[in-house]
């Protein structure tokens, strides 16, 4: 599928494998092509985001991502140029899979929230669309 044709309905919450130990806590696992349909080439995480601050505000032309609230909570609003969907992420054993060609905004970070992002490609500023009007033209 072309990124310009992707929709918010191509993006889904993925349940991660969870290994629970009564006394020792939990482990959640992400494996390439098993948990997500891409190979993870880069991991980054957002933290110390001040209350009321918003992140994102861009789309990617080629990048797929899995976003996990490793700690705390925040909301992710996805926008394909026609439809918006908002997800609250607040479980370390769930991830939001985002396909290319989707505008995203991250907001309402709780104190101490850690937003972990697993990405299909290395960092490339050329892959970003940072202007919303340009995004709408791209999706037409």
Residues with catalytic function: 58
With 0-12 CB in 10 A as exposed, 13-18 as middle and 19+ as buried, what is 125?
exposed
Pick one of 40, 46, 98, 118: the residue that binds ligand TYD (CB under 6 A).
46
SS3 18: strand
Characterize 47-71 residue by residue with b for buried, 16 or more Cβ atoms within 10 angstroms of its Cβ, and e for exposed.
Answer: eebeeeeeebeebbeebbbbbbbbe
Closest separation in Å from C-beta 85 to ligand TYD: 18
Q: Does 45 bind ligand TYD (CB under 6 A)?
A: no
Q: Are the C-beta atoms of 127 and 64 separated by less than 8 Å?
A: no
Pick one of 7, 14, 30, 55: the residue that binds ligand TYD (CB under 6 A).
55
**Among 5-13, 52-60, 79-87, 89-97, which window interacts with ligand TYD (CB under 6 A)?**
52-60
Q: Does 56 bind ligand TYD (CB under 6 A)?
A: yes
Q: Which residues bind ligand TYD (CB under 6 A)?
A: 42, 44, 46, 55-56, 58, 123
């Amino acid at each position: 599928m072309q990124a310009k044709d992707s929709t918010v309905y191509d993006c889904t919450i993925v349940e991660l494998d969870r290994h629970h130990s009564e006394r020792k806590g939990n482990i959640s696992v992400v494996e390439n092509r098993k948990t997500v349909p891409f190979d993870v080439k880069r991991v980054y995480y957002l933290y110390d985001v001040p209350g009321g601050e918003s992140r994102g505000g861009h789309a990617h032309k080629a990048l797929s991502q899995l976003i996990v609230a490793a700690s705390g909570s925040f909301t992710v609003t996805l926008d394909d140029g026609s439809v918006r969907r908002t997800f609250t992420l607040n479980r370390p054993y769930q991830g939001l899979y985002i396909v290319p060609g989707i505008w995203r905004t991250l907001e309402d970070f709780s104190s101490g929230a850690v937003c972990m992002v697993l990405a299909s490609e290395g960092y490339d500023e050329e892959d970003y669309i940072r202007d919303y009007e340009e995004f709408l033209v791209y999706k037409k």
